[in-house]
Chain A
Amino acid sequence: RKEVEQDPGPFNVPEGATVAFNCTYSNSASQSFFWYRQDCRKEPKLLMSVYSSGNEDGRFTAQLNRASQYISLLIRDSKLSDSATYLCVVLGGGNKLTFGTGTQLKVEL
């Protein structure tokens, strides 16, 4: 099983749609979880941290299920500017971030 697994997409959605991304991780000892966003040929940028209680930041909601080792990201009212690759990221020992391959989102008019 891959350390961090994501559906690569692409997800093509119309503007205003709600879209959900899922991620699973293999190491049950993982401590912290994040969603990063990466635009083409640019650096990963933190979108949000993910907590067991769930957290929301504007149109973005992240959820963590430790028992299932599952992380999700929901984007509501998607904008053209949301088009990017969304990276599921897990923090392990040595402060090492392990990245998924990313899910590509394309928001269309």
Chain B
Amino acid sequence: EPEVTQTPSHQVTQMGQEVILRCVPISNHLYFYWYRQILGQKVEFLVSFYNNEISEKSEIFDDQFSVERPDGSNFTLKIRSTKLEDSAMYFCASSAGGGETQYFGPGTRLLVL
């Protein structure tokens, strides 16, 4: 069964450093998403991406965040200058169509020290 994959599974970084989280969506999917979950809290939407453009972004997704699809398979989330409060599990998801089921990757656990 096709699945979304994410690397790395864990990342520890110092405050102010840049991090890039990587995702490989399901191969025939056209819509891509990033969500995050701070420990003990609910899953929160960050951004949706379609046709090489951001479709929607949340208030959390400020100028420190960016997304890119650098090639035909990868989808990345960059945090330019990490803050302590960026520590969370970051989930990538993809869907075949706009209103269709979103399938989540296993997540990258980011810890900012």
Give the size category of B's interface with A. 20 to 34
Is the pair A98, B101 in contact by a Cβ cutoff of 8 Å?
Answer: no
Closest chain B CB from A100 CB (angstroms):
7
**A 14-27 to B, binary, CB cutoff 8 A, 1 in contact else 0:** 00000000000000
Is the pair B104, A44 in contact by a Cβ cutoff of 8 Å?
Answer: yes
Is the pair A42, B106 in contact by a Cβ cutoff of 8 Å?
Answer: yes
Among B45, B50, B89, B93, max chain A CB count under 10 A is at: B45
**Does A31 interact with chain B (Cβ within 8 Å)?**
yes
Is the pair B99, A99 in contact by a Cβ cutoff of 8 Å?
Answer: no
Is the pair A95, B95 in contact by a Cβ cutoff of 8 Å?
Answer: yes
Q: Which A residues fall within an 8 A CB radius of B?
A: 31-32, 34, 38, 41-46, 49, 87, 91, 93-102
Q: Which B residues fall within an 8 A CB radius of A?
A: 31, 33, 35, 41-45, 48, 50, 55-56, 58, 89, 91, 93, 95, 98-99, 101-107, 109
Is the pair A91, B106 in contact by a Cβ cutoff of 8 Å?
Answer: no
Is the pair A95, B35 in contact by a Cβ cutoff of 8 Å?
Answer: no
Identify the closest chain A residue to B99 (Cβ): A32
Give bound CA distance, A91 to B49, whole Å.
15
Closest chain B CB from A11 CB (angstroms):
18
- Set A42, A49, A93, A101: member contacting B56, Cβ < 8 A: A93
Is the pair A96, B45 in contact by a Cβ cutoff of 8 Å?
Answer: yes
Is the pair A96, B99 in contact by a Cβ cutoff of 8 Å?
Answer: no
- For this complex, 16 residue pairs linking A to B, each with C-beta atoms less than 8 Å apart, are A31-B99, A43-B91, A44-B43, A44-B104, A46-B102, A46-B103, A94-B56, A95-B56, A95-B102, A96-B45, A97-B43, A97-B102, A99-B43, A99-B44, A101-B41, A101-B42
